[in-house]
Amino acid sequence: MLDQAHPTRIPAGEVHSEYRIYKPCGHQHAPTDAGVQEVDDIGLVCADGYEYSICWTCCASGGAGQTEECVDGHADCWPCRPLRSLAHRISVTHQRAALAMTSGDTPLWAARANEAAELYRELVRHLPTPATEETDHG
């Protein structure tokens, strides 16, 4: 069901991306070790220190750190509600396009297909690309 409390369109300039939360991994690492990164207030960590992900915009105040509201209940934080709502909207729009196509309503089918493509492009701009796959902000 679509979450009516959250918009299906994300305002321009608002970037929802993954913000990874770490704890100390308990290992001794050199900065040159593969898969090791420097995390503020923790030091060098490997994948064993990864705890969970939250949204950069919704739950990390755009990089200012995890919000108090998110600390106690981060299960719903990634993907965040705006991105889940957008994905749902894409699904519904695709279904409506399919119905229009099977009914022979070509203009409506084209309009729905274009709307779905626009929504999909909006969603994709929030997903990591191969060049920026590492979305750690630590």
25-72 pLDDT per residue, tens = 999 998 888 889 888 888 899 989 998 888 888 888 766 677 777 877
114 CB neighbour count, 10 Å cutoff: 12
| 12 pLDDT higher than 80 | no
pTM of the full structure: 0.64
- Cα–Cα distance, 97 to 117 (Å, whole number): 11
- Cα–Cα distance, 116 to 126 (Å, whole number): 16
Reported as type and span, the H/E element at residue 53 is strand 50-55
| 17 pLDDT higher than 90 | no
pLDDT band at 125 (very low <50, low <70, confident <90, very high): confident
| 3 pLDDT higher than 70 | no
63-116 pLDDT per residue, tens = 667 777 787 776 678 888 888 888 888 889 889 998 988 999 899 989 999 998
- Cα–Cα distance, 91 to 83 (Å, whole number): 12
Q: Per-domain residue ranges for the chain?
A: 17-78, 81-131
